[in-house]
Each structure stands twice: as C-alpha cells, then as structure tokens.
Structure 1
Amino acid sequence: MENFYIALNAVLPMFIMLFIGFAIRKLNILKESFLPQLNKLVFTVFFPFLMFNNIYGSDFGSVFNPKLLIFAVVAVAVVYMLSVGFTLLVEKSNYSRGAMIQAIYRSNFVLMGMPIVENIFGEGKLGMTAVLVTVIVPMYNILAVITLEIFRGNKINFLKILKGIATNPLIIGSVAGILAVALNVKLPQTINSVVSDIAGAATPIALMVLGASVTFKSIKNCRRNLVFCIIARLVAVPALCLTAASLLGFRGVDFVSLIGLFCSPCAVSSFTMSQQMGSDYELSGATVVFTSITACFTMFLWIFLFKQLNFF
C-alpha cells in the first residue's frame, strides 16, 4: 500500500490543479479569451525563474549524469523516427501527419514531468531534470519545426530555428542557472527569495491554465488519429523507453526523470505550432486535452509499477 500512496501522491496534486483550472473556467471566473495571454505569461515569465531556480539550488557537480543525458537524447531521436514511420503508414494526409508526429514524440515534460520528480524526491533533486529540459526542449522544437515545414511543403529556415531556440524562455532560464552555478554566483537573500517565490508559483498556475483550456470540441473528425496518438504517447512510448532505461541500469531520481519525460502527455505548445504552421491544429488541440486528462491515470500506473519493482 505504501507504493500505491507514493504513486498517488505524485500524480494527485497535478490532477487537482487541472480540475481547479477546469472549474475556474466553467464558473466564468476566468474567461476563455484571456487564456492565451495567461499561458504566455506563464511560459515567458514564470518558467524561466523555475528553470533557473531548479538548477541554481542544486549541487550541479554531484547530480550531472552524462549517461542519462545521452540516453534521453537517443531515446527521443528513436521515438521521433518511429513516430514518423508509424504516421506515414496509418495517415495519408500531409495536413494531419505533422500534427500526429508531434503528438507522439513531443511530451509536456516541463509542465507535467518535472512536478512528478519534485513530488517524489523534493525540489532539491530537480537539478539533473532541469538539465534534461535544457537539452530536450530545443530538440523538441527543432524536430517540430522541421516536421511541420516538411509536411506543408516549405523550405526549412535554419536561422529562424536557431533564433527560436536562443530566445526560448526555458532555455534562457536554464542557461542562466548553469552559468550561475559554474561561476559560483551567490544571489542576495532578497533576490533569491523573489526568484524562489516566482518559481514556486509557476507549476500550479501553469497546470490550472492547462485545466482551464480543456474543451471537448472538434474531435468528431479526428477520433481515429486521436486514439492512435493517445495509445502511442501514453502507452507505447513509455513501454519502449522505460524498458530500455531499466535494462541500462537507471534507478532513483534519474529513472523518475525519465518517467516524467516519456510518460507525460502531449506538449501544450504543439497546438500553437500546428495552428501557426498550417498543420491539423484541431487534432493537436484534441491530443493535448485528452492525453493531459488520461495521463493523470497512466502516469500513476507507470509510477506505481516501477515503484513496486523498486526502481526508485
């Protein structure tokens, strides 16, 4: 029963915050038209502080694990290639292919993966998880832009991709944290307190915004592909990657970081990118909503399974 409660306590806070956000919109406390601005505020202001604080507050030298970083990068690359192959087999329309590929390989690691590690091990153990974000998020973005450009038939603009990476708020916050640790920068107590307070507010607000964004519109024409994406994202990808990780000997906080990376639902930003780049944004929106809801249960099951097997 102890392992059951550990798994439950890892996922339940996220589910509650998602539900609170959903209730806030239903009660008209927060208007739907305000959600894009609020979401932008979270990603451009709150999340950079969160990324900085997670790295700055860690003993970077003791937590850095190059083997974990290499595995995560290789695993994401393999999942991406498999998602491309699978999508080309089951979907004939280029309009929907880019959206499907994104939904399968690109997880919401920052928003729902990192809280899993924090809920199980505490804020002080997030250092290597934050480093993974620094590498994986640009990788996600590069692959997404390339994929969506290819399937709408446009020439890829690598300068635009590099600019997008350099100005990504998550990357800016992470790099600032790494530099602060590397240069042994000590923030004044007042500044450190402000950074910690803003970082602490990032995840709850982001999850409530995601919950408020949940709608059940526009799934009539994409049910088949939606089912494919949910099963691939929340069952097939975790099964493949976590099995490989277990065989390679990853345990403890490193293994839970991989649970957060590979068991999380589709990235919220995949909807925005699909909408801006001429892909099937209705499918992208549906995958974000339904994988976010379903992941509250599937992530619990994955955590419970591997806790039972004493992987952490």
Structure 2
Amino acid sequence: MSSFSVAAGAVAPLMFFMVLGFCVSQKAHFDGTAIANFNKLVFKVFLPANMFSAVYFSDISKVLDPRLISYGAGGILAVYLLTYFFVVRLVRDDRKRGAIIQIVYRSNFVILGVPLVENIYGPEAVNMPLMLVTIIPPLYNVLAVFTLEKFRGGRMDWRHVLRGVLTNPMILGALIGGLVKLLPFPLPDFLAKALKEMAVGTTPLSLIVLGASFNFESAVGEIRTLLVCILSRLVLAPAVFLAGAVLCGFRGLELATLMCVTITPCAVASYTMAQQMDSDGELTGNCVVFTSALSCVTMFLWIFCVKALGLI
C-alpha cells in the first residue's frame, strides 16, 4: 500500500490542476480561440523559460555516472526508434504519427519520477535522478521537435525540419540558457528569481490549459487509438526499457531511477507541443489525462513487481 500511496500522491496534484482547468473552462465558457491563445502563451513563453531555467540553474557537477546516463539516453532512443518503426508502418495520418510517437517515448519523469525515487529511497537519494534531469528532458525535447516537424503536413524537406528544430522556442530556451551559463557573471537576482518562478508555474499552467481543452466526445470517438497509446506508454515502453536495464546489470537505486524515467505517464509538455506544431493535440491531450489518471495504479504495479523480484 505504501507504493500505491506514493504513486497516488504524486499523481493527485496533476489531476487537481486538470480538473480545475476543466471546471474553469465550463464556468467561463472558453472557446477554441481562448484556449489556443493560452496554449500559445505556454508554448512561446513559459516552456522556453522552463528550459532556460533547467539548463542555467543545473549543477553540472552532479553528472557523475556515465554508465547510468548512457543507458538512460540510449534506452529512450531505443524506445523512440522502435515506436517510430511501428507507427510509420501502421498509421497513415501524419498528424497522428507524430503525436503517437511522442506519447509513447516521452514520460513525465521530472514531475513524477524524482518524487517517486525520493519516496522509495529517501531524500538522500534524489541526486541520482536529478543527475538524469540534466540529460533526459533536453533529449525528449529534441526528439519531439524533430518528430513533430518531420510529420508537419507531410513535408520531407530535411532543411526545413532542421530549421524548425533550431528555431523551436523550447530548444532556443535551452540554448540561450547554456550560453548565459557560460558568461563570467551571473544573472541579476531579480531576473533569476523571475525565471525560477516562471519555471515553477509552467506545469500547473500547462495542466490547467489541458484540463480546459479536454473533450470527452473526442476521447470516445478515437477510443481504440487512445487505448493503444495508453497501453504503450504505461506498459510496453516501460517493459522494453526496464528489460534492457536489468540485462545490463542495473540494480537498487540505479534501477529505481531508470524505472521512474519510464513508468511515469505521458509528459504534460507533449500536449502543448503537439497542439502548437500542427500535430494531433486532442489525442495527445487525452493521453496525458488518462495516463495520468491510470498511472497511480500502473506505477504501483511496476514498483511492486520490481520490489518482489528483489531488484530494488
């Protein structure tokens, strides 16, 4: 029950913000234009500020385990490539191709994974997942931008794709954060504080906007695709990722850290990126909602099984 409590406690705040957004939308009668404008604000202002903060305020000295980092990045790439291979062959709609690929490989590791490791091993263990935070989110974003650009309107112009990746607001936020970090002087205190506060507010705002845009009819209308995406994100992707980690000899805290990279639900930022980059935002948003709701059960089952096998 303790594992279930940890998972439920981690997911409950996400559900609260999504329900709040849905209720506010119903009360204020937000139309599609208003929700699109809120999404644009998140995508062009808050997400870049979040990426800037993640890079600028990160402690590079914590990146001390090349083996763990290599597997974390390599495992995500393996899941991404497998998903890409099957989706391109089984799905015809380009808008859905980009959305599904992002849904399957991209987890909510930063928001849920780090607290899960802390609850399993205690506060002294958080340095290991925090080490991966400097690597995993940037990799997620680069892959997401590349994928969504590639399937944007069916274009295959690689120069256009590369230009789209390099000019994406999230990638620019990370690049600017890295360049500013190299300066011989720090940011002014007021600006550093403002950026930190924007970064903290990014996830709640993204969830509220997602809740406001939730459409039950669209979820029912594509229930088969939705179920496949949920199963892939919460069961199949973790199974592939964790099987490789166990075979590579990871155990204990290292395995728990890798587990929490992959068993968490679909990343909140996936919805905003899909919606703003001409992908299937409705499918992505529905997957964020339902994987978040179901993940308190699936995360408990993954933790229970791995513990029962004596691997953590």
Distance apart, 1:271 and its partner CA = 4.6
Seen in structure 2, the aligned counterparts of structure 1 residues 50 and 61 have a Cα distance that, compared at 3 Å, is same
The separation in 2 between residues aligned to 1:187 and 1:166, in whole angstroms, is: 24
Corresponding residue SS for 1:217: helix
Counterpart CA distance in 2 for 1:233 and 1:163 is 29
Other structure's SS at 2:209 match: helix
Report Cα offsets for 1:234-286 as digits up to 9, x if no partner. Answer: 321122213323443176488547634564327213355455xxxxx4xx62x
- Whole-angstrom distance in 1 between the partners of 2:263 and 2:8: 18
Q: Which residue is 2:290 aligned to? A: 294
Tell me the equivalent position of 1:53. 53
Question: Which runs of structure 2 are paired with 1:1-312 in the superposition (5 Å)?
Answer: 1-28=1-28, 30-63=30-63, 65-87=65-87, 90=90, 94-95=92-93, 99-100=96-97, 102-106=99-103, 109=106, 112-117=108-113, 119-120=115-116, 121=118, 126=130, 128-147=132-151, 152=154, 154=155, 156-183=156-183, 185-218=185-218, 222-248=222-248, 249=250, 252=253, 255-256=256-257, 259-260=260-261, 263-265=264-266, 267-268=270-271, 269-275=273-279, 281=280, 285=282, 287-308=283-304, 309=306
CA distance in 2, matches of 1:232, 1:217: 22
Cα 1:168–1:257 shift into 2, 3 Å: farther
The unaligned stretches of length 5 or more in structure 1 are 276-280
8 Å CA contact 1:117–1:126 kept in 2: the answer is no
Contact 1:68/1:254, CA 8 A, preserved across alignment:
no
8 Å CA contact 1:10–1:116 kept in 2: the answer is yes
Residues 43 and 276 in structure 2, CA contact (< 8 A), matched pair in contact too: no
CA distance in 2, matches of 1:172, 1:54: 13
Distance 1:103 1:70 in 2: 25
Q: Which moved more, 1:13-22 or 1:299-308?
A: 299-308
RMSD of aligned C-alpha atoms?
A: 3.4
Equivalent position amino acid for 1:102 in 2? A
For residue 266 of structure 2, give the secondary structure of its aligned residue in structure 1. Answer: coil
Deviates more, 1:14-23 or 1:165-174: 165-174
Letter in 2 for 1:132: I
State the Cα distance separating 1:49 from its structure 2 match: 2.0
**Cα 1:190/1:3, change in 2 over 3 Å:** same
Distance 1:243 1:108, change over 3 A: closer
Distance 1:255 1:180 in 2: 33
Distance 1:50 1:221 in 2: 34
Amino acid at match of 1:236: L
Q: In 2 relative to 1, CA 34–147 (structure 1 residues): closer, same or farther, beyond 3 Å?
A: closer
Supply the distance in 2 between the matched residues of 1:37 and 1:258 (Cα, whole angstroms): 36
Q: In structure 1, how many angstroms separate the alpha carbons of the residues matched to 2:105 and 2:213?
A: 15
| SS, match of residue 264 in structure 1 | coil
Does the Cα contact within 8 Å between 2:97 and 2:151 map onto a contact in 1? no
CA distance in 2, matches of 1:192, 1:127: 21
The Cα shift of 1:24 comes to 1.0
- Deviations along 1:210-252, one digit per CA (max 9) or x if unpaired, are 1111102345653333332222233211222133234431764
Distance 2:217 2:252 in 1: 40
Kept after mapping to 1: 8 A contact 2:266/2:288: yes
In 1: Cα distance, 2:187 partner to 2:87 partner = 48
Percent identity, please: 23
Cα displacement (A) at 1:68: 4.2
Cα distance in 2 for partners of 1:201, 1:253 equals 30
Which consecutive unaligned segments of at least 5 residues does structure 2 have?
A: none
Report Cα offsets for 1:278-310 as digits up to 9, x if no partner.
Answer: xxx4xx62x323322221244323433454446
